[in-house]
Structure 1
Amino acid sequence: MTARTIRGMAAAALAGTLALTAAACSNPGGSGSGNADAKSGAVVGIAYEPESLSPLLGYGKDGNSKIFDGLLAFDGAMRLKPALAVALPQVSADGLTYTYKLRKGVTFSDGKPFGAKDVVFTYRTILDKKTNNASKSELDALKDVKAVGDDTVVFTLKYPYAPFAERTVLGIAPEHIAAGQDVNSGPFTTRPIGTGPYVLTDWSKGEKISFKANPGYWGGEPAVKKFTMAIIKDDDVRATRLRAGDLDGAILPPNLAKGFKNDSARKTYAATTYDYRTVTLPTHNKVAGDTAIRQALDVAVDRQAMVDKILDGAGKPAYGPVPTGSEWFARGTERVHDLARAGKILDDAGWKPGADGVREKDGVRASFPLWYLSGDKLRQDHALAYASDAKKAGIEIKTQAGTWEVIEPRMKDDAVLAGGGSPGDPDFDQYLLLKSTLGGDGFNNMARYDNPAVDKALDEGRMTDDKAKRKAAYDTVQRELMKNPGYTFLTHIDHLYVVNDSWDGLTTQIEPHDHGLASGPWWNVEDWKPKK
């Protein structure tokens, strides 16, 4: 059986995708530039925190988890490179077998050796039905994983899944610790041990996640000895704390980042992303689930105005989960802002204007609630703009703010201003977003979208490594979303970071929706060096 490496496959998967914007460095002072640890520590402000720090439950599945390493990792240009493996995998000619040779001499931060058994344990545990990993369907192609000695791992697939190697950036858990406890609720979920460049020192939920450099890291001890992610959900508060010197860097929405434009001590950098904002249109809602309402909203919304006014130009209109700059984008699926067309769609479907201008059909008002996350100014602004555009078409949308604890139980029937997006391969985002069988599975398929043609295309796209067939499948998905859009996609957002200028060696990657934790100018904090 002829072997081939994955390097070419990974490069091809990202060829033609969005351009990468370089980022700069951050002053790592724990309390700003006046801090005594200014040359050895950094505090950055992020908006969200994970539910768990266990890779068995999905933490770090896309890399950059700080505490853990995967078999592979992504470099700044999103190319795969070896991590716990010594080289990229050897792939059988039929695409069903991936063989990894492991790095020798690696230890977990507790001093115990890393080996093939830990890799096998990690993947088998994730696939176990008892494990509450919402992303386990991303490993659906995996049939078996086995160790060959201490330094070789062989994965066998059910079908040739083209992006499988990109799924092996997932962090590896230590069997000697995690195997002896409840995978879903044991202490490993909040006090993990890994092989990564940093060791967790504290996680005060809702406040901060703190790390210290791992002196035994196989890649060399990082120069940034202490690294803290301050969890600040409110955008305005994050900007205020950055200006006060409490933070060395932060992610900010465009209108707040603009306030630091003339600050000589700080710089603002943009990272191109796959991150989109979308409105879920719940299938179970009598109004939002109506195909004509969905089609009308899809053309009533003024996406370019949102990019210009809300994002200050830092983004692009979104017509689906795939950005227009990606090679996977289906040309011809762009939607033009057209209120007249929206009105005709509704008229033809029997949605007639009522006395107050809100349309009605069979005694049902064209009205539904739209929730957005409290403190998230970008979501709030998108929600208000969407509601304003909808009103012009005769659809009443009532915007409401809440926490995820308030919003999640309502997702079956109420619309949500949601976010998502994952670079690298169209399967990563579209399957979890649109597959009907995942409707109601946590934050997967939040709209409970159900389209047999989309389900079929999603399966075809992930079950072949023939690129032409995959492109045809994902083109079908995007065209079906034009016919029956279970989501109104609004914008793709460039992430903006404001950072102090005290460190060298920093870049950004093309980023997913999960911004600020694994991404941002600190995605490679272990490589930062202090400016001289």
Structure 2
Amino acid sequence: MKAHSFALRKAVAVLAAASLGLTACGSSSDTDAGGGGGSSSAPIRALLNAQPATLDPIVGARSAQVVWATMLEPLVHTDDELEPDKTGLVTEWTRDDPTTWTFTMREGVTFSNGEKADAAAAANTLLLSRDTDASILKSYFANVTSVEATDATTFVVKTKSPQYDLPNLLTTVYLVPPAYYEEKGSEGFAAAPVGTGPYVLDKVQAGRSISVKQNPDYWGEKPANQGVVFTWSTEASQRLALLQSKSVDLSFDLPPAQVAEAEKAGIEVVSTESAMKIIAFLDSTKAPFDDAKLREAAALAIDRDAIVKGIFDGNASADGGLLNVKPGTEPAEQVEADPAKAAELVGGDGPTVPITYPAGQYTNIEEVAQAVGGSLEQAGFEVKYQPVDYGTLVKQVIGRQLNGLYIFAGVPNVAVPDFFASGFMKTASITGNCPDPRMDELTAKALEQDDAAAAQSTYDELNTLGVVEKHCYVPLYRQTYSYGLADGVSGTVYSPLNAVDFTQTTH
């Protein structure tokens, strides 16, 4: 199994974080799309594990980012160390005072529909991210009081209280054209995205494929290929079969069994320990887990090491921390499995626990859900499995429609602990499953520090409170992400933040 180092191409980074889901099918266009450098007129055929729920980055969970990030770009690019750099649409920033940041936009960039990709567009996108009711990033920008474009290349962001991570957060804000987005609305934009990226939309075949082709007016280095056709299959065996039959060039999200089969057949497999963390969320606002004793029992019942060994044959990394974002880091404290104590806390006939999970979205997720459920049953709980599609799960989580336990991936689009703290731990967060003024205070306190290093002790305290003391979160493991390459295919860059750069892929 070949290990892939993360090497972002600075001039053309098309990055973000996503829990991948795509397809495989025929070509959308065999004609040259213009620009330079394509090694073949045929586009790259990329097979994903699920159909993208939406291509609107304002409201969309980052699972579809792998597709829209070919056409749209984040305001700030990231470097090899997953830190923000100044090679993208934003080329400079300064912190004028503890609550004021000034950002400078690259001059002369336009959206593919001709609109200016200027400071006003950046300000509008940030305000959409803050103010849109369904915005997936809403909680991250709640501290922002104003965003103003002071001239064509400069926008100023002011916050209520100090916030050290604004440049980091802009690495997951994808620039949208103001007039077009207002005209089309979220659904219309998702049907035909317009951005500044190296590709533009070519064709959508509803339920079958999405294809992109070279953007002839891209401001950066032109792609080495003419485009990408995305198709999807939720069946891992089918994803491997399509790769073996040479019907696709890349097949993403191969589970361990398919990895072994592919390697035995001589197919090149690339595996990366990702920052995607699979987490069991316990809803403390509703029965049965409004009872702190039952939350503790559930946390003690689940054996993450057994899941990694039994389901993934070691091809994942057990991780008991929530806020240790980068691979290789460990939490200050974590909960260790103790089935006997879990059963003692339940004390006989336990309540029914619904276990909701996104069927087909994450590698081996059905087996993981069954393992979690089996552990709870051994502790004395009754279990009810509720598999749903990923888009439905996102809506149910955001709409506070779930109780019991649900399994959801934490995908750190931004490599700072606040991405999980603000995303999952604040009262006004994506999940909102563990409202507690102390966690709100600690999240705010961390952001007021000068940088992530100065905030680390506060994040350790916050992790211990939410995971070890309150048992609202049961981190399970970091996923090792594997994908297969057809003969002669090379140049795809996959990062630990589950981002894919197709611009140098050739076949």
TM exceeds 0.5? Answer: yes
Letter in 2 for 1:178: Y
- What residue in structure 1 maps to residue 83 of structure 2? 79
Partner of 1:157: 159
- 1:381: how far off? 0.8
Deviates more, 1:254-263 or 1:468-477: 468-477
SS at match of 2:169: helix
Tell me the equivalent position of 1:425: 416
**Residue 402 to residue 503, structure 1, CA distance change in 2 (3 Å):** closer
* CA deviation after TM superposition for structure 1 residue 427, in Å: 1.0
Moved more, 464-473 or 246-255: 464-473
- For residues 311 and 88 of structure 1, the distance between their equivalents in structure 2, rounded to whole angstroms, comes to 43
Which residue in the other structure is 2:196 paired with? 195
Provide the rounded CA distance (Å) in 2 between the counterparts of 1:411 and 1:254.
33
Deviation string, structure 1 residues 232-254 (Cα, Å, up to 9, x no partner): 23333322322232221122122
Match for residue 526 of structure 1? 503
1:219 deviation in Å? 0.8
How high is the sequence identity, in percent, across the aligned residues? Answer: 22
Cα shift readout 1:169-196 (whole Å, capped 9, x = no counterpart):
32222223223x26334x2232122111
Structure 2 match to 1:415: 405
Say which SS state the counterpart of residue 279 (structure 1) adopts.
strand
What SS does structure 2 have at the residue aligned with 1:482? helix
1:314 Cα deviation from its structure 2 partner: 1.9
Q: Partner of 1:119 in structure 2?
A: 122
Contact 2:493–2:502 (CA under 8 A) maintained in structure 1: no
Is 2:246–2:486's contact at 8 Å kept on the other side of the alignment?
A: no
Amino acid of the residue matched to residue 84 of structure 2?
L
Residue 322 (structure 2) pairs with residue 321 (structure 1):
yes
**Superposition deviation, residue 164 in structure 1:** 0.6
**Rounded Cα–Cα distance in structure 1 between residues aligned with 2:106 and 2:409:** 37
User: How many Å separate the matches in 2 of 1:193 and 1:406?
Assistant: 25
Q: Does residue 5 of structure 2 align to residue 22 of structure 1?
A: yes
Check conservation: 1:318, 1:324, Cα contact below 8 A. no
Among residues 98, 103, 109, which one is paired with 2:112 in the alignment?
109
SS in 2 for 1:455: helix
Contact 1:97 1:156 in 2 (8 A): yes
1:334 matched to which residue of 2?
Answer: 334
The CA deviation at 1:112 is 4.1
Q: Which has the larger radius of gyration?
A: 1
- Scaled by the length of structure 1, what TM-score is found? 0.79
Task: Provide the secondary structure at the position in 1 that maps to 2:331.
Answer: coil
Compute the RMSD of aligned alpha carbons.
3.2
Structure 1 117/367 Cα, relative in aligned 2: closer, same or farther at 3 Å? Answer: closer
Letter in 1 for 2:405: A
* Partner of residue 272, structure 1: 273
The residue type equivalent to 1:69 in the other structure is E
Q: Shift of residue 460 of structure 1?
A: 1.7
Question: Equivalent residue of 1:419, what SS?
Answer: strand
Farther off after superposition, 401-410 or 236-245: 401-410
Q: Indicate conservation of the 8 Å contact 2:83/2:415, yes or no.
A: no
AA partner of residue 22 (structure 1) = S
Corresponding residue of 2:382? 396
**Structure 2 CA distance for partners of 1:68 and 1:319, relative to 1, 3 Å:** same
Which residue identity lines up with residue 435 of structure 1 in the other structure?
K
1:45 maps to 47
- Show the 5 A alignment for 1:84-483: 84-85=88-89, 87-92=91-96, 94-128=97-131, 130-169=132-171, 170-179=173-182, 181=183, 183-185=185-187, 187-250=188-251, 251-264=253-266, 266-323=267-324, 329-331=330-332, 333-344=333-344, 346=345, 351-352=346-347, 359-360=348-349, 365-376=350-361, 378-404=364-390, 409=396, 411-422=401-412, 423-438=414-429, 444-445=430-431, 448-467=433-452, 470-480=455-465, 481-483=467-469
Residue-by-residue CA offset, 1:38-82 (whole Å, 9 max, x unaligned):
834211122244443234435779897111223321234423233
Given that residues 72 and 88 in structure 1 are in contact (C-alpha distance below 8 angstroms), is that contact kept between their aligned partners in structure 2?
no
Q: Which amino acid aligns with 1:98?
A: W
Kept in 1: contact 2:104–2:153 (CA 8 A): yes
Deviation at 1:259, TM superposition (A): 1.2
Distance 1:343 1:427, change over 3 A: same
- Kindly indicate whether the alpha-carbon contact (under 8 Å) linking 2:25 and 2:208 is maintained by their aligned counterparts in 1: no
CA contact (8 A) 1:299 1:342 kept: yes
Distance 1:59 1:375 in 2: 16
1:21-50 superposed Cα distances (whole Å, 9 cap, x missing partner): 4279xxxx9769xx9998342111222444
- In structure 2, stretches of 5+ residues that fail to align are 8-23, 32-37
> Deviations along 1:252-284, whole A, 9 cap, x unmatched?
1222222101233x3111222221222232234
Q: Is the 8 Å Cα contact of residues 301 and 337 (structure 2) preserved in structure 1?
A: yes
Q: How many residue pairs align between the two structures?
A: 470
Q: Tell whether the 8 Å contact from 1:322 to 1:328 is kept in structure 2 after alignment.
A: no
**Cα 1:272–1:328, aligned 2, differ >3 Å: closer, same or farther?**
closer
Partner residue of 2:34?
none
For the structure 1 residues 150 and 437, does the alpha-carbon distance in structure 2 shift closer, same or farther, using more than 3 Å as the test? closer
Alpha-carbon distance change, 314 to 99 in structure 1, aligned in 2, over 3 angstroms: same
- Of stretches 56-65 and 203-212 in structure 1, the one that deviates more from structure 2 is 56-65
Pair 1:240–1:319, CA change in 2 (3 A):
same
Amino acid in structure 2 at the alignment position of 1:68: L
- Once the two structures are overlaid, the 10-residue window that deviates more, 217-226 or 147-156, is 147-156
Contact 2:319 2:330 in 1 (8 A): no
Confirm or deny: 8 A CA contact 1:197 1:221 kept in the other structure: yes
Residue segments in structure 1 that go unaligned for 5+ positions in a row: 1-19, 353-358, 439-443
Question: TM-score w.r.t. structure 2 length?
Answer: 0.83
Q: Alpha carbons of 1:313 and 1:113: their partners in 2 closer, same or farther (altered >3 Å)?
A: same
Structure 1 distance, partners of 2:351, 2:152, is 62
Which has the larger displacement, 311-320 or 400-409?
Answer: 400-409
The 8 Å contact of residues 59 and 65 in structure 1, kept in 2 or not, is answered as no
CA distance in 2, matches of 1:189, 1:122: 15
Distance apart, 1:469 and its partner CA: 5.2
Label 1:417 to 1:327 Cα distance change in 2 as closer, same or farther (>3 A): closer
| SS of structure 2 residue aligned to 1:156 | strand
The answer to whether the 8 A contact 1:274-1:322 is kept is: no
**Offset of residue 414 of structure 1:** 4.0
Distance 1:56 1:133 in 2: 5
Aligned-residue offset at 1:216:
0.9
User: Could you tell me how far apart the structure 2 residues matched to 1:54 and 1:304 are?
Assistant: 37
**Range with greater deviation from structure 2 (160-169 or 236-245):** 236-245
Partner Cα distance (1:282, 1:316) in 2: 25
